[in-house]
Chains A and B, each alone.
Chain A
Amino acid sequence: MTNTTLRSVISDARLVAGKDLRLEWRSRVTLNQLLPFALLVLVLFAFALDPDRSVLKDATPGLFWLAVLFSTLLAIQRAFAVETVDGIIDALRISGLDPAGIFLGKAAGIALHLLVVEAALLVGVTVMYGASPSGLLLVVATSIAATAGLAAAGAVYGVLAAGLRVRDTLLPILWLPVVAPLLIGATQAFGSAYEKSSGAGWRWCGLLGAFAVLYTAIGFVAFEPLLEES
């Protein structure tokens, strides 16, 4: 890829992400629905597991990332639902924007939503589960790496399911097994961040980063044929 095409990809990505964020700013769907949903999941976990704080505290890394995973599903569906109404996706397809740029923009939009959700969840588990991380740097690095992977894979599978009548039920069974490695990695990394030993945590963090890079590459290649058919 030459330098100029890379630059146009990035500017296209910025255009798409900017549009999605402006849309969010006007509709406040994330603020009014996604955040409450994520926090609700935290409360539901407490109901399911016992109000006993020690259980919740021990399970915090896994519960945190499960809550993120469920919220991501909603974020992906939202990101592509705004495109499929009124044939906007056709407009996107013939807009002349680089498909790789559209992919990057969509993924960036989802990622930003997720980072907000994760920040809220971090406060949530600290307050409600009484779990405070000791390796804050690892927590931040893990969140960024895992979010990038979730968003990149989410954009790929989101466009695959977009436009189908069964998209809401199809997306979870296509996407969740794929991001199972992310759930494992992020949970393990958080586990070591919350238990004060950061040795294996950084290794898992590296795995998350590798996943994000891989799925960004897949998105660059696969988004064009998928967008054509969605």
Chain B
Amino acid sequence: MTSSTPGQRAGRFDMHPDGTASHGSRVLGSILLIAVAIFLIVALVASPPDGAGADAMGDMVRIMYVHVPVAIACYTAFMVTAFASAMYLWKRTEGWDCLAAASVEVGIVFTVLTLATGSIWGHTAWGTWWEWDPRLTSTALMFVMYLGYLALRRAVVDPQSRAKQAAVLGLISFINVPIVHYSVDWWRSLHQTATIGRLDPTIDGLKLFALLFGMVLALLLYAWLMLHRFRLQWVETQVEAKGLDTALAERRAEAVADGGVR
């Protein structure tokens, strides 16, 4: 996906020799930098505040332009993990395992951002930093669930069993997400219906553009982060395997040397 010929390497896209960057990731990264700058101008300056009306959000609507996109990115990340986990269980190749692991970590970063921006928005809407809003609550539970996934990966020593157990957990966790969501939703609907993200359906013009731009940008950012994170995971897996091999070889060499002396 990101192959490059040596000739293209020179000049602006000069890369660190040991890094996870490639020509493709550099190009995408540069485009993203410019796009982020344009997005910030559109979202913060060019687009108008939410108009008059009883529940108009005013300038607070601008938080939605990042909150909704990062939420979409985090759900996408966990969807990719579930898919990669299923593919691992089918194909049993380490690439899929790396993809699942990398996507969880990136997804957790986006989940943190979803929670933070949701909480900030909630503070102006409800006056408290945390309200038991169904979406925020189920996102918080999802956050803990995927932290558990990373904890499991860290706990299992053998690479093969780690990959297999993590793949099963990655799949089950994704099944849990809607269950948790609907039960929390149902639970809260008995009391109130306040929900983040109730955007005016007639939203139009620059506001709609800012929102859609944000969504595309968040997904591209996810893709760019994944390029780097996946390669990092891949290198770590290889180094781990290599470390085992060299340790074994050294042990064997020592044994031979000992035998020679005696």
Interface residues of A (CB under 8 A from B): 156, 160-161, 164-166, 170, 173-174, 176-178, 180-181, 184-185, 188, 200, 207, 211, 214, 218, 222, 225-226, 228-229
Contact = CB atoms under 8 A, between A and B. Distances in A.
Interface in B170-198: 171-172, 175-176, 179-180, 183-184, 186-187, 190
Contacts of A181: 179-180, 183-184
Contact of B147 (A164, A173, A185, A225): A173
Given A184-B184, A222-B172, A178 B161 contact: no
A229 B148 contact: no
Contact of A160 (B147, B160, B165): B165
5 contacts: A166-B151, A170-B155, A174-B152, A200-B190, A211-B179
Given A164-B155, A225-B168, A229-B165, A174 B183 contact: no
A177 B180 contact: yes
A105 B158 CA distance: 28
B94 to A, nearest CB: 15
B89 interface: yes
A227 to B, nearest CB: 11
Max chain A Cβ within 10 angstroms of own Cβ: one of B152, B168, B190: B168
Interface in B209-243: none
Interface residues of B, number: 29
Q: Chain B interface secondary structure, helix, strand, loop or mixed?
A: helix
Nearest to B147: A173
B165 A178 contact: no
B179 A177 contact: no
Contacts of A211: 179
Given A222-B172, A229-B164, A180 B183 contact: yes
Q: Which 3 A-B pairs have the closest CB atoms?
A: A181-B183, A229-B161, A174-B148
B36 interface: no
A160 B152 contact: yes
B26 to A, nearest CB: 38
A226 B141 contact: no
A164 B156 CA distance: 7
Contacts of B171: 222
A170 B155 CA distance: 9
B113 interface: no
A229 to B, nearest CB: 4
A133 B28 CA distance: 63
B63 interface: no
